[in-house]
Structure 1
């Protein structure tokens, strides 16, 4: 990636950090008191994400490699994973900041079409795993929490929504989504003309990307399920964060409760995807989720606060990593161009 483009992403990340520092819903004295209250659990929460990002990176790396020798190292992919998520945390609609950055950084190593298809496939897998997580959590709720008519109806809606989304995702995996996505964007105000022009100019590249997406599901099933399994595992491991934080406040909480809290909170936050850095949505989700399990809602607010601190830490790390270990990849880019 050219340095000027990297600097744009870097400046955007710095801006996001400043915004987050000024959007905590408490003064810094109270914030520091709550952090001190966390004690040794806060480092545990932060270090947990070293492993979660490892699973995320491994899932993406499996798509890039597909059983073959990689043209890019795993640790490069790991670095781009952390930086990409740092940008996504700070971007309204979630998946708008980190993905272009990943594509531009990865392209010199594997080529533009491979970088684009791998990022699209990984984003699809990341979202796909969320629907499976919400679906299995809904089933889990039936066995570990009390039911009533209201909750039963809500669970039925969630299950139906997840099954419908899984169906459309599987259809997208079979046929590809790049061309279809550009066609849909061509009808959207403000970006419609650009999408139509881009689709016409890059028709061959987009069709190649769609063929690579379809190939992953049809001919490379092992890679597909390895990537999906790793992403789903990252969702489940992420529930340990809630378990660690709630154990600061009470010992009367199980890991299964934390899975349900995390599932509801992530679903609630994603339904309000337009909120930058999920400001307010996560706090509300945690409060509602804990309240629904007969856990004091104040515990949910405290959980959201500590996760916000963890998030800020990793955003800072991700932004700093943008300036570290940036090889040019020019030799590999040249080789890629010769083979295409």
Structure 2
């Protein structure tokens, strides 16, 4: 990646950090008191994400290498994973900053088409695992939590929505998705002219990317399911964050409840995908989720606060990593 392009992403990350610092809904003295209250659990929450990002990076690395000796060092994939997520957290609509950055950096190692296909495949897998997480969580709620008619209808909608999404993702894996995505963009205002031109100019590249996407599911099933398993595991491990934070406030909380809280919160926050850094949506999700499980809503507010601080910390780390350990060689698109 050229340094000029990298600097654009870097300055965008710096801007996002400033926005987050200015949007905490409390003064900094109160914030400091809440952080001190967390004690040892705050570094535990922050350190937990070293392992979560490791699982994310491993899931992507499996796709890049596909059982072969990797041309990309794992430490580089790990670095790009953290920086990519940092940009995604800061971007409205999601997947609009981190994915282009990962493609441009990874192209220096494996070429443009391979970098693009692996990033698209990983982004698809990351989202795909979300739907499985929500679906499994809905089933767990039915099995272990009391329900009324309202909750039952909501869960039925979630199950139907996730099942439909999983079906379309599997269809995309079988037939490819790059060409279809660009064809869809060609009907979207403001970007349709660019999308049509890009489809014509990069037709061969897009078809090659779709072939690589389809190949992952048809011929390399072990890679597909290993990557999916790692991403789903990252979702489950991520629920420990809620468990750690709630243990600051009460010892009367189960890990199952934390899975359900995290599932509902992530689903609620993703409904507000247009919000930069999901400001307010995630906190609201925590409050609604804890209230729905007969946990005081104030606990949800506190959980959202600590999670936001953790997110800010890792965005800072991701932005800093963008300036170190980069490949100097530019590899032409394949």
- Quickly name the TM-score band, shorter chain normalised: over 0.9
Equivalent position SS for 2:227:
helix
Please state whether the residue corresponding to 2:124 is helix, strand or coil: helix
> Which residue is 1:12 aligned to?
12
1:156 is the counterpart of 2:156: yes
Report matched runs for 1:1-340 at 5 Å. Answer: 1-330=1-330, 333=331
Structure-2-length-normalised TM-score:
0.99
CA shift at 1:93, angstroms? Answer: 0.8
Aligned counterparts of 1:314 and 1:234: Cα–Cα separation in 2: 16
Give the 3-state SS of the residue equivalent to 1:8 in structure 2. Answer: helix
Residue 22 of structure 1 deviates from its aligned partner by 0.3
Aligned 8 A contact 2:108 2:327 in 1: no
Distance 1:93 1:251 in 2: 37
Segments of 4+ in structure 1 off by > 3 A? none
Q: Distance in 2 between matches of 1:327 and 1:210?
A: 27
Distance 2:147 2:14 in 1: 45
Deviations 1:164-191 (A, max 9, x none): 0000000000000000000000000000
- C-alpha distance in 1 between matches for 2:310 and 2:295: 22
- For structure 1, the 5+ residue unaligned runs are none
| Structure 1 length-normalised TM | 0.97
Cα displacement (A) at 1:108: 1.0
**Aligned pairs, how many?**
334
RMSD over equivalenced CA pairs, Å: 0.7
Q: What SS class does the counterpart of residue 181 from structure 1 fall into? A: helix
Aligned partners of 2:271, 2:280: CA distance in 1, in Å?
Answer: 13
Q: Measure the CA separation in 2 of the matches of 1:223 and 1:329.
A: 28
For the residues of structure 2 that align with 1:74 and 1:144, how far apart are their CA atoms?
40
Residue 62 of structure 1: SS of its match in structure 2? helix
Return the offset for 1:293: 0.1
Q: 1: CA distance between counterparts of 2:114 and 2:140?
A: 38
User: How far apart are residue 228 of structure 1 and its match?
Assistant: 0.2
Q: Distance in 1 between matches of 2:209 and 2:239?
A: 34
The CA distance in 1 between the partners of 2:93 and 2:235, in whole Å, is: 19
Alpha-carbon distance in structure 1 between the residues aligned to 2:329 and 2:213: 24
